[in-house]
Structure 1
Amino acid sequence: MSDHQPPRRSPPEPPPGAYRTYPADYFPEPDGGGSGPVPRGSGGPGPAGARSPLLTARVLIALTVVVGQLWALPVAANAWLSGDTDTAWWTTAFSGACFLVVALIWRLAPERER
């Protein structure tokens, strides 16, 4: 028997849009060496985790507003259908104010975090 092995072939390219796997040594070391893409886990510009508290606060405010709008929609619809137009208009105004709060939060965010 011979110890001769056939030459290694590279795997075929995946079809367009398919998930591609990379060899373990493709990504550079965390110290910035190498010539591959940005290492996994890099949070973008700035020191790691610097954006996290502000981003978390904005997301929590936006989620709270969404919950408020989800409450206001059925209350407004129920009030409108039962003939209580005052309540319907107040809850509609509340929903509009919620939208403006989220739009303001988005507008005040730094350009790089939008």
Structure 2
Amino acid sequence: MFDTPIPLSALHHFAQQYDVALQNAAWCLGGRPWLLRAQRLLDDLRQPARLTCRAERDAQALLDLLRLEHVHDENRIEAACFAVIDPTSPNVENICLLSEALRDALHAAQAQQETETYHV
């Protein structure tokens, strides 16, 4: 019948606003593998489509990266990347702010999905 536009999630809006910042943080905290994962998420979120499970997993994984969840595991690249960061760098504050913004966007997107699921 009629195609109704799919409402963009808070993660879609986050991706539009923080595209470059997320890529920079992913590179800084996790090198090439995390940069590629961030780019994949951003590519997924450029499409006006419902949030996929993969996009949600990638967003959660990137949030864990920004929250430094894996820097204590010496067998992971995150530990090596974290070790070279200057704690006085302005990037540290930017990463903290980005982490908060991603957390808020992820929670809002999940709440929006739950609301849409119940109203279908």
Give me the TM-score of the superposition, normalised by structure 2.
0.36
Larger Rg: 1
Higher relative contact order (CA 8 A, sep 6+): 2
